[in-house]
Amino acid sequence: MPHVIFPVWQAVVLAIVQGITEFLPVSSTAHLILFPWIFRWYDPGLTFDVALHAGTLLAVLGYFFLTWVRIIRAGFGARIDIHTGGPLAGDALATQQRLLWFLVAATIPAAVIGYAFEKQIETTWRDPLVIALSLIGVAVLMELADRLPDRMAPAAEPALPRSVGAAAATPRRGRLKDFDQVSWADSVWIGCWQALAVIPGISRSGITITCGLFRGLTREAAARFSFILATPIIAGAALKKGLEVRHQGLPPGMHAAFAAGIAVSAVVGVASIWLFIRFLRLRTLRIFVVYRIALGVFIFLWAWHSHTALLGAL
C-alpha cells in the first residue's frame, strides 16, 4: 500500500455514515462504497473497515448490554425476564430460555455464506448495478412486509402484554409477537435471510427486519431482534479483519483516522439505534422504502452517466 495519509475529516464522515446506515435499513456497505466512489476519495481499505466494525460493535453491545446479559443467563437456566431482569415462570420463561440458542442457530447461515463467498463480497459484488438492484429489490419486499403489522393488529385491539409470568406466553393466532417470542422457525428464516446481506445493497438490518415482519413480529420487535442478532456477526467480522490488520500493522498516517473511526461510529451508532427503535413505535418503514428506491435509481443514473462519459472520452 502506498504511503497515503487518510484525512481525519474523511474518516469522520465515513464513520458517521457507518454509524447511521449500519442500523437503519438502507445498507451501510452500499453507502461506504458510494461515498468514496462519488467524491473520488482515497480508499482506506481493510484497516479502516476494522475501525468501523469495532465502532458499531461497541454501539450495539453498549445499547443491548443488559439485554444480552439476561439472554445469556436465561439461556443457561436463570429464571428471569430478559426485558426487566425480574423473576419469570411458566411458558413465557421456557420461551425466553430458548432465545439464546435460537440466536446461535440464526447466526450460522450468515457466517457460512460470508466465509464461502468472501472473495466475491470484496470484488465482483461491489458493482454499482448489483447495489442498485439490491436496494430496489429489498425496498419492494420491505413495503409488502411493512403492511402486515397494521393488518394483524388493528388499532382497536389492545397491545400485547409484557412478559410477566405464564400469562404472557406465546401470542394468540393473528396477534403480533415481541422479539423474545420468536420460534425456532422464525429464527432459522431470519438467519437465512440475514445471509443474503453479504450482497452490497441488501442491508443486514433491512432484510432481517423485513423477514421479522413477515414472521409476525411488531416493527419494534423486528428491529430489536435484528440488532441483537447483528452482534455476533459484527463481532466476527471485526475479529477476522482485526487479526488480518494485526499481522500487517497500521499503515503510516492511519492512526488518527483509525481512532476517529472507532469513536465516531460508536457514538453515532448508539444514537441511531435509540432513534430508530423509538421511530418504529409510531411510524412505518415507508420513508426507508422510498429512500432505497430513490438511491437505487440515482446509482443507476450515475453509473450510466459515468459509463457514457467514459465512452465519449475514448
Distance CA 68, CA 226 (A): 13
Q: Which three cell numbers stand for residue 139?
A: 425496498
Contact partners, residue 163, CB within 8 Å, separation at least 6: 81, 82, 83, 88, 92, 96, 178, 180, 181
What is the DSSP code (8-state) at residue 160? P
Is 69 inside a domain boundary?
Answer: yes
Is 159 inside a domain boundary?
Answer: no
Q: Which three cell numbers stand for residue 294?
A: 430513490
CB contact at 8 A, 273 and 58: no
Q: Total domain count for the chain?
A: 1
Is 232 inside a domain boundary?
Answer: yes
Greatest Cα pair distance, the chain, in angstroms, is 73
Is 17 inside a domain boundary?
Answer: yes
Is 12 inside a domain boundary?
Answer: yes
The 3-state DSSP class for residue 152 equals helix
- CB-side exposure of 14: number of CA atoms within 13 Å? 33
Is 2 inside a domain boundary?
Answer: no
Q: What's the whole-model pTM score? A: 0.87
Report the alpha-carbon angle 123-9-135, nearest 5: 40
Is 127 inside a domain boundary?
Answer: yes
What is the sign, positive or negative, of the torsion defined by CA atoms of 268, 62, 102, 125? positive
Residue in this structure with the C-alpha cell 449500519, named with its chain if needed = 22
Is 40 inside a domain boundary?
Answer: yes
Domain range enclosing 295:
8-154+164-313
CB contact at 8 A, 42 and 36: yes
What does the pLDDT profile of the chain (314 residues) look like in tens digits?
445 678 899 999 999 999 999 999 999 988 988 888 888 887 777 678 889 999 999 999 999 999 999 999 999 999 999 999 999 999 989 999 999 999 999 999 998 988 787 777 767 677 888 999 999 999 999 999 999 887 775 443 444 444 443 333 444 445 789 999 999 999 999 999 999 998 989 999 999 999 999 999 999 999 999 999 999 999 988 888 888 777 777 777 788 999 999 999 999 999 999 999 999 999 999 999 999 999 999 999 988 877 566 555 55
User: Residue 76, Cβ neighbours under 10 Å: how many?
Assistant: 9
